[in-house]
Amino acid sequence: MAKSPSPAGSFEQPLPAHGTSRLRAELVNSVYSQSSFSESLESTAASSVDDLRTHRPLQPGVYVPTVCFFEESTEDLDVDTIAKHAVRLAKVGVAGITTQGSNGEAVHLTHKERKIVTSVTRRALNDTGFTWMPIIVGCGTQSTRETIELCHDAASSGGDYALVLPPSYYKPMIKQDSLMQFFEDVASASPIPILIYNYPGAVSGTDLDSDAIIKLASHPNIVGCKLTCGNTGKLNRIAAATQAVTPSDHGSGFMCMGGSADFTLQMLVGGGSGVICGLGNVVPKACIEIFNLYQSGNFEKAKKLQEVVARGDWAAITGGIVGTKSGLQTYFGYGGVGRKPLPRPTKEEVDHYAEIFREIVNLENTL
């Protein structure tokens, strides 16, 4: 069954509106206010962002960074499958959707295509009764200027939150104070709240420590983090210092999120808020069930399920986006291939991906 919308106003994350926060936002916006940032923020998704100061609240739970689908012969966006996949996930009870993440091949998309993916996802959710479901949009890129532009694009396409990686191309020249300034400038200029995305594997090893994230969390437009670094100690420290949201306590409203399904239970025990996991593209019900078992106090069953999910997540991690799409194609009849230069899997590789996903898909089909 689909999750019900949260009560009005619960887990609300307001944008900065007064005092020094507002002044800083105005100053930073003045720097990035040239024509490329002055496009209309009117939604292309039918009233999904009528009021940019009211956002769909983030709830504790499982979020899925959706795969982007392409027509096999042309590599054009397959908007029908993008829409159907989002609805499939919503119907089984995910707490939210993330577009333009690593699984979404954001680095293979033009700005226009990024906007199309988010707006198609928003429209599909709205049309099937999931108007309450938040969309987090990946907006990280190499310059402060373009990152802010992507945040504006996300807002105008129906996104509710921006997920931002640290820049890394000029890593030797970008010191800690420059990284901190990057996130503060982006947060102050973004029309939607942001979550810090800590994924060292995607950014030349740049790894924000808990002290940095805790400090950045004091910015009123930074409302959470995604820790794909897998460091549960870091997650514990951030969750405690920020009084993060948990399934049983709203806390400060800050969302401290794990970045993969293989430590969902550990994240919950450590005081985290939820998980944004690529494995959810293939087996969303199995990922959600760990959450449900934990909430009901059935820790032994949750532990046993986590063992199976961790093995399934290793299949997704080692296979990457190619393996994830192959698994979707084998077991659910859609998935296709990635954009070049990502390789097309051979028959032997397709068989291999089918085998390593078999256990977790069999479990999924029992739920």
Question: Looking at the annotation, which residues are catalytic?
Answer: 226
- Beta-bridge partner residues of 161: 136
Among the listed residues 159, 75, 164, the one whose alpha carbon sits nearest the alpha carbon of residue 115: 159
In whole angstroms, how large is the CA radius of gyration of the chain? 19
Beta strands 194-198; 161-164: pairing state: parallel
- Residue 224: enclosing H or E segment and its boundaries? strand 222-227
User: In this structure, which long-range contacts are made by residues 335-340, counting pairs with CB atoms below 8 Å and at least 24 apart in sequence?
Assistant: 335/67, 335/69, 336/69, 336/70, 336/71, 336/72, 336/78, 336/81, 337/70, 337/72, 338/70, 338/105, 338/108, 339/70, 339/75, 339/105, 339/108, 340/75
- Residue 194: enclosing H or E segment and its boundaries? strand 194-198
Cα distances from 182 to residues 26, 60, 167, in angstroms, run 16, 27, 8
- Beta-bridge partner residues of 77: 70
Residue written as token pair 């460091």: 231
Token couple for 262: 């293989």
Distance CA(271)–CA(265), nearest Å, equals: 10
How many other CB atoms are there within 10 angstroms of residue 1's CB atom? Answer: 6
DSSP letter (8 states) at residue 37: G
